[in-house]
Each structure stands twice: as structure tokens, then as C-alpha cells.
Structure 1
Amino acid sequence: MTQPRRQVIVHDSKDALVDSVAGRFIAEIVSLQSEQSRVSVCLTGGSVGIGVLAAVAASPLRNTINWGRIDLWWGDERWVPAHHADRNAQQAWDALLGSVEVPEANLHAFPAADSGLTLDEAAVKYAEDLRSAAAPGDDAVAFDLLFLGVGPDGHVASLFPRRGELDDAGTVVAIRDSPKPPPERLSLTMPVINKAQRVWLVVAGQDKASALGLALAGASVHLVPVAGVQGQRETIFFVDNDAAVDVPRELIDGND
């Protein structure tokens, strides 16, 4: 089956990007909820990803989403205690989830460093959670929508360049020597990321421009991990002008 073409949508600024994606997210979830009983979304951290959640929280349309019918997961997590300010799940709670009526059972966060589990046990636990929520016969949830940020080195989730985790065929990896602090992390693998029906990458800043340009030009996934990301139905890069400077003009779909 031919994979859908990647789309690149450029925004005038980071703020415009955040507001546009927030509105698009609300509309997408409402549409999906009109067609199916539950919707699964995988969230990302980072300033842009968390900014999108804050913009959803500020939107007068936020409660057009039925928060009782959405399951929220995370693409990666820092191995820090629960409620730590660096934890992606805590940042998501502070930005949005604490202000909407989403049942606790619908929040599928990675185990925290003070959970009583070791890092490896936490990876196994999250893999089990993904498997138990998956369709029969699948090893992990095929998310309806998965968000990703992109690092200046092209990393996505906690999958960094030139590292063995990029080749992991499982579902969740434990990372002990991340090149970006903190050194211990948990991450979904590339196969799980690419099982998602829709992947939305939110990218802002000139420091991301080189990695983005290389990825869209067909760089190796081992050199630029984001180059390996491909959703089943759609893959959209939402970027600001600064991040788009090295993207070939012919790859840009337009401005939002």
C-alpha cells in the first residue's frame, strides 16, 4: 500500500501555529467522535506541543469534545517523579487536562520514577497497557492521532540519532543515557509511532530548520529520526516560518 504524501503547512509565527493546530485538533476530535465511540490520542511534550494544549484549554470550543470518550497516551516521558515539573504528563495536566472533565481512567501516563518500578519494569508495564487497549491481535494501540515535536538533532519522542532504539521492533524502550537530559527516559518505538492513523508534527524555531529540511529531503532515519515518521492515513508537519527556511518550496502545501 502506498503511504500518503507528507504535508507541510507553514504558519507566520509560533503563536499562529499553536492557535491553528489547537483549532484543528478540536475539529478533528469532534469529527472522529461523530464516527466512532472512542478516540485515542498520543500527546507530546515540548514548548509547542504543550502550547497547543494550552490553546485548546483557552478555546471556547474545548467542550465540544466529549472528554469522557477520549483516551490520552504519551509518546515519551522523562524518568522523574510523578508531578515533577519536567514530566510531560504533568505539563499536559497543567496546560489542559486539569481544566477539562477527562476521567482519570482515560489518562494513560507512563509510570513515574517514584512508582516503585524500575525503568525496565516501567517500560514493560506501558507495553502491557498498550497491548491491553489494542485491537485483538495487535501488540499496541493504533492511535487515531499522534502528536510529535522535533528536536534540533531531528529526534522524535525520545528516539535520538545514531542509536539502537531506532531499530527496536518492540513497543516501548527504556533509555538510560539520553544525549538530552535527563538521561533516563521511556519512549514509544518507531513502529508504534507509525501505526498511528494520523501523525501531526508541530515544529517551531530556526534551530529545527536543518533537521526538518533533511528529513523532508529523504535523509536516513538513523541520522535524522524524524525522517522515518509516517502515519497510516496522514502525516502533517505544522511549522512556523523560522523552521521552514530549509524546506524545499515544492513540498509546502500552503500557509495556514
Structure 2
Amino acid sequence: MSPNVRITPHPSFDVLAATTAARLITRLLDVQSERGEATVVLTGGSVGIATLREVAASPARLAVDWGKVNFWFGDDRFVATDSPDRNAGQAAEALLDHIPVDPARVHVMAASDTVANLDEAVANYAAELAAAARSEWENDDESPETAPPVPRFDVLLLGLGPDAHIASLFPELAGIRTKGVPVVAVRNSPKPPPLRVSLTLETINSAQEIWIVAAGADKAAAVGLGLAGASELQVPASGARGIHKTLWLVDEAAAAKVPSALMRREH
């Protein structure tokens, strides 16, 4: 296992969510002290949303300058704005509606009732990412002439499916194979709903830190394979690698098939 990849098991789902929330608050504070602002990519799923609820409930959240946090999403379902399937809506209910965010810094993927089609949703998000990247590089005195296609992501959160999918990149499907673009349209998701917008693996791996959060015995095989060096085409989670750090934050049940020598325990 790469030295910048670490797995940390937690005794329960609740402890995992609370500890990940505390870790996220601390990381945002550290980045803001260094750079003035911070950027996080949010995920859906049971642990991802529970983590956001824990952030909202934590007294330590008051130390973060939420008006200088940029929020992006790793993926979303291409359904109507008011659909309960939307990651953006779940994140708003869990956290974003409860903290003083700058609405201009909250970047949601288009819903099906706001654009003509899925391709337009993908193009719009890619353009938003590119505009944010250009703005960052224009403010950097040492910037090159050509800005990257995406801005800096300080922390990128990922859920994990029992089939080891991350974001909406599923085993063997076109999304996990897509290169050269920051965002991909997913039309045949094996997990409903079938239409989705997702960051590509290249974009995911541009993050400074990637945190994969997973809970439950049904995730144990995916966690084990993801850490065993399996092909990213069959096990998309195995291809997630942050520039500086990749954390697998799991509960004991999800860590059941990981050799104990690889694990760093938190109490």
C-alpha cells in the first residue's frame, strides 16, 4: 500500500461520522490559516450525509469562516431539484442551510428541471470548474499561462458502494474509463436513478487529500479490494489517490477484510 494511503477503523457508524466531522473542521481551519479560504468536495451516501450533520451540530463549526469555504460535489443524480435523491438537497438539509455560506461558493450540479439535458449539465459544471480554476491562477503571481481545468480541492470526500464504485464511477462502465475531461455524463448507472453527473477519476485525483468514508459489512469486500491494488476498472475505489494523502475512514464492519497490519486505529 502506498505510504500516503492510510486506513483508520472506527468502532461504530456514529463514531465514524463524528470523528470525520471533527477531522474536516480541523482541516478547513488549518487550510484557512494558510491560504485564507478552503475548498471541500462533498459526497452523498449515509456516512457522507451523517458527517455533514455532525459538522452542523459541532460547537467547533463556529471557528470556521464558512463564508470562505468553497463547496463542490463529486457527483449528483440528474433528477428534479426537489427530488430526495439529490446529493445537493441532502447536503443543504444536513449542513449548508445551517451555516453562513456564501451562495456564490456553493457549486451544485444542475438538476433535470434546470437544463435541457444531461450533456448540458455536464458542460455547465465543467465550465464552472474551469472558471474557478482560472480565477485561482489569475490571483497567483507564479501562475502559468494556461490554467488547469479544475480548482484546488483541499479535501475531497467519497462514499463507497458495495461494488466499490466512487462518486458515480461504476466498475467497467464508461465513466471510470473517461479521461481528458473533468466531468462525465453517466447514463446507465446500475444503481438508480440511471442518469447522473460525476467528476472523472482524473479530477478526483487532483485533490490534495481524498477521504473515502464507508460503513457496514456490505462494504467490507469493496474496502479490502480497494486497498489490495485491484484494477480501477473493476474496483474504481482502488484508483482514488490524493496528491498528498488518501484516507480510508471506515467502521469496524467495513474494515473486516483488511489485514490488521495496514490499520491505524482511533479511539
Please give the range of the TM-score, normalised by the shorter of the 2 chains: over 0.9
Question: Is 1:152 the equivalent of 2:151?
Answer: no
TM-score (norm 2): 0.93
8 Å CA contact retained: 2:129, 2:150: yes
8 Å CA contact retained: 1:172, 1:187: yes
Q: CA deviation at 1:85?
A: 1.2
Match of 1:255 in 2: 266
Letter in 2 for 1:82: T
Spell out, residue by residue over 1:89-115, the C-alpha distance to the aligned partner (whole angstroms, 9 max, x if none). 000000011011101111100011000
What does residue range 143-222 of structure 1 map to in structure 2 within 5 Å? Answer: 143-169=153-179, 170-222=181-233
Letter in 1 for 2:153: F
8 Å CA contact retained: 1:38, 1:70: yes
Spell out, residue by residue over 1:121-156, the C-alpha distance to the aligned partner (whole angstroms, 9 max, x if none). 110110010111114420112301100000000000
Match of 2:141 in 1: none
Spell out, residue by residue over 1:32-65, the C-alpha distance to the aligned partner (whole angstroms, 9 max, x if none). 1111122111000000000000000111111111
Match of 1:76 in 2: 75
Task: Flag structure 2 segments of 5+ consecutive residues without an equivalent.
Answer: 138-146
TM-score (norm 1): 0.97
Q: Aligned with 1:162: secondary structure?
A: coil
8 Å CA contact retained: 1:142, 1:192: no
Letter in 1 for 2:157: F
Q: Percent identity?
A: 46
What does residue range 1-256 of structure 1 map to in structure 2 within 5 Å? Answer: 4-134=3-133, 135-136=136-137, 137-169=147-179, 170-256=181-267
8 Å CA contact retained: 1:165, 1:189: yes
Moved over 4 A (4+): none
Distance in 2, Cα, partners of 1:34 & 1:236: 22
Distance in 2, Cα, partners of 1:201 & 1:171: 20
Task: Flag structure 1 segments of 5+ consecutive residues without an equivalent.
Answer: none
Q: Aligned with 1:57: secondary structure?
A: helix
Q: CA deviation at 1:5?
A: 2.3
